[in-house]
Structure 1
Amino acid sequence: MHLKRPALLAALVAAATTVIGLVAVLPSAAQQPKDRDTGARELGSPDYGVCRGPDERCYHDWGNFDPAKGYRVLLFTRTAGPRHANLGPALAAGLNPPLTAANVVQNGVVALGQQNGFAVDWTEDVTQLASPNQLFRYNAVIFYSTSRDTLDDAAQTSLRQYIRGGGGFVGVHNAFGTEYNWPWYEGLLGGANYYDHGPAQSGTVRTVDRRDVSTAGLPATWSFKDEWYNLVPAPSRVRVLLTVDEHSLAQGVTGSMGHPGHGAEHPVAWCQYYDGGRAWLTTLGHDALDFSDGSAFPGAVQFQQLLVGGVRSAMGAAPFCR
């Protein structure tokens, strides 16, 4: 039955009044709460199908780690493509194979562990990552300048189960040039991937978040030399800790493919919870002198402090991503 014209007009006026009333009580864009960190309002990730971001509700504590047993990390440096010089010669199979003086990264991380209260095992043998039970012996797993498809199917499954069980992940430098075709791993890196870089050069690092354990003692700005990775995609929904001032780079930031750089917001370290676990990331770490005493390499001491803090927080020995 159709309404007569007067009744129809009355109904339309009433509906419009209701809508206006609803609009009036909705906060304006200026009134809506602003998140300190990108994506903090939404826990689910439409891109990677996981809970991720700086919100600790994305951490899933299964009780797999007992602090009373101390802290131990696994350093994984296997390369299935280009190999950074600071990794030294490829390692023999097994756990904790012999190291040479040229294995600077492995020796450096072991020394940092000895100085800061955590044990370090090292390997380039993918079978050491073959099951979650193997990984759950470690409070965190460090991928330091791994490259290309360094994991097989078993190791991929194991790593994901480990992270989902509350494990910690630390990705350093060319960890961003690893597992390109695995979307879950890209999400673990903060929704980021390596694209290119310009020539290694000195630049000014800005400490943009000094609340985190990894950055709390760092100066507001400090000099460092690196390759300054450009990332596509760039990290999203993470807590950015450090950026590089692109104006301080004498030769610009464009790489071999002509990436224009990231402008005023060029992140070089960040953290997030991911799929139940913790992930702390930095694109820094190219040079062997990163593990020196800093007398001949400005920023080395700050880099080591940054890395130790990142490892300690990722493995649960210190507050994470605060």
Structure 2
Amino acid sequence: MLLPVIVALNVSNVLVYSATAGYRHDSIPTAISELTRRGPDYGINFINTEDMTLFNDRYLSQFDAVFFLSNTDEVLNSSGKAAFQKYLDRGGNVVGVHAATNCMLRRSCFYSSGSQFQGHPAFTNATMVVLDMIHPSTAGLPPRWNVTDEIYNFVTDPRDLGAVVVLSADESSYRDPSRGQSAQGDPHPIAWYQERHTGTNSTGLVGRSWYTGLGHAAAAWKDDVFMSHILGGLAYVLASNTTRAMNPDATVGSLGPKYTPV
């Protein structure tokens, strides 16, 4: 399958992968539409696919980041996982949103950007607490940010893998009967980053990762504050200096206007 790409110099290519093999979020089409609409203002060329066969070395090599959008269960086959592993080993960056921590759980440890989804209470109003007012993904947020979302619990503390948590949930602001079963640490992690993605085998160029547990409802993707959170996270990973958009010596990333469809 050919995917049309029109790229200008200094524009980053981001592959949005939205395939699901389990529960499918109704917000996915809205998320793709809003990312595509807003991308040019941020110098980002978003390409969306749900075709796992495009996870091959040649196709992935043109992207500065891969954006996992609310994926569930096993959404890549063995060859796709191998190609994605190679992409990470060559300096590729990765972003995960919402249910992205609930895919490829058992056989793809390299995918994890810090932890895995455990569960969540009912869709609820809750208050998020910004822990880092400077990071691009949180700089545009109020210090205490009221959201209506699914507030995820995680199996382990992402800080155990070197992640830096930039956004946490105020656990007193909502009710969650199952919260005590989680080993996610305190404060309750919601969004975090890794300067060097732990899923790579490389000792050279290592890309960045960023994840947020928010983004369940379509309405969030229409909200400017929420989108500043998402696009700020993307801006952070794209500034890694490990892909061609920023580093002429890199081996993956945007090739500018000379893109050839695969």
Same fold (TM over 0.5): yes
Matches within 5 A, 1:84-99: 84-87=25-28
Equivalent residue number for residue 246 of structure 2:
none
Give the Cα–Cα distance (whole angstroms) in 2 for the partners of residues 281 and 178 of structure 1. 13
Give deviations 1:145-166, integer Å, cap 9, x for gaps.
0110000111101111111111
Give the Cα–Cα distance (whole angstroms) in 2 for the partners of residues 267 and 106 of structure 1. 25
Give deviations 1:182-216, integer Å, cap 9, x for gaps.
24235x321x1111100010111111012212222
Q: Is the Cα contact below 8 Å between 1:253 and 1:261 reproduced in 2?
A: no
Q: Shift of residue 313 of structure 1?
A: 1.6
Tell me, what secondary structure is at the counterpart of 1:269? strand
Q: Shift of residue 318 of structure 1?
A: 8.9
Name segments (4+ residues, structure 1) moved above 6 Å: none
Give deviations 1:208-228, integer Å, cap 9, x for gaps.
012212222322111111111
* Structure 1 residues 253 and 119: CA distance shift in structure 2, 3 A: farther
Q: Which amino acid aligns with 2:94?
A: F
Equivalent residue number for residue 60 of structure 2:
135
Give the Cα–Cα distance (whole angstroms) in 2 for the partners of residues 128 and 227 of structure 1. 31
* TM-score, normalised via structure 2 length: 0.80
* Structure 1 residues 196 and 126: CA distance shift in structure 2, 3 A: same
Equivalent residue number for residue 109 of structure 2:
184
Equivalent residue number for residue 181 of structure 2:
259
Equivalent residue number for residue 123 of structure 1:
49
Q: Is the Cα contact below 8 Å between 2:34 and 2:221 reproduced in 1?
A: yes
Tell me, what secondary structure is at the counterpart of 1:213? coil
Q: Which amino acid aligns with 2:21?
A: A
Q: Is the Cα contact below 8 Å between 2:165 and 2:191 reproduced in 1?
A: yes
* Structure 1 residues 185 and 226: CA distance shift in structure 2, 3 A: farther
Q: Which has the higher contact order (CA 8 A, sep 6+)?
A: 2
Give the Cα–Cα distance (whole angstroms) in 1 for the partners of residues 170 and 183 of structure 2. 11
Unpaired stretches in structure 1, ≥5 consecutive residues: 1-66, 88-102, 293-299
Give the Cα–Cα distance (whole angstroms) in 2 for the partners of residues 206 and 142 of structure 1. 24
Matches within 5 A, 1:6-155: 68-87=9-28, 103-129=29-55, 131-155=56-80
Which of 118, 123, 140 lines up with 1:200 in the alignment? 123
Which of 87, 98, 106 lines up with 1:162 in the alignment? 87
Q: Which amino acid aligns with 1:252?
A: D
Q: Is the Cα contact below 8 Å between 2:19 and 2:51 reproduced in 1?
A: yes
Across the two proteins, how many residue pairs are aligned to each other?
225
Q: Shift of residue 261 of structure 1?
A: 8.1
Equivalent residue number for residue 32 of structure 1:
none
Give the Cα–Cα distance (whole angstroms) in 1 for the partners of residues 33 and 116 of structure 2. 27
Q: Shift of residue 68 of structure 1?
A: 4.4
Kindly name which structure, 1 or 2, has the bigger radius of gyration based on alpha carbons.
1
Equivalent residue number for residue 13 of structure 1:
none
* Structure 1 residues 285 and 135: CA distance shift in structure 2, 3 A: same
1:268 aligns with 2:190: yes
Equivalent residue number for residue 279 of structure 1:
209
* Structure 1 residues 162 and 195: CA distance shift in structure 2, 3 A: same
Equivalent residue number for residue 234 of structure 1:
157
Give deviations 1:3-47, integer Å, cap 9, x for gaps.
xxxxxxxxxxxxxxxxxxxxxxxxxxxxxxxxxxxxxxxxxxxxx
Equivalent residue number for residue 289 of structure 1:
219
1:209 aligns with 2:132: yes
Q: Is the Cα contact below 8 Å between 2:67 and 2:96 reproduced in 1?
A: yes
Tell me, what secondary structure is at the counterpart of 1:308? helix
Unpaired stretches in structure 2, ≥5 consecutive residues: 1-7, 201-205, 243-262
Q: Which amino acid aligns with 1:286?
A: H
* Structure 1 residues 107 and 208: CA distance shift in structure 2, 3 A: same
Tell me, what secondary structure is at the counterpart of 1:114? helix
Q: Which amino acid aligns with 1:279?
A: S
Q: Shift of residue 109 of structure 1?
A: 1.4
* Structure 1 residues 142 and 287: CA distance shift in structure 2, 3 A: same
Tell me, what secondary structure is at the counterpart of 2:158? coil
Give the Cα–Cα distance (whole angstroms) in 2 for the partners of residues 222 and 203 of structure 1. 8
Give the Cα–Cα distance (whole angstroms) in 1 for the partners of residues 224 and 130 of structure 2. 15
* TM-score, normalised via structure 1 length: 0.65
Q: Which amino acid aligns with 1:107?
A: S
Tell me, what secondary structure is at the counterpart of 2:109? helix
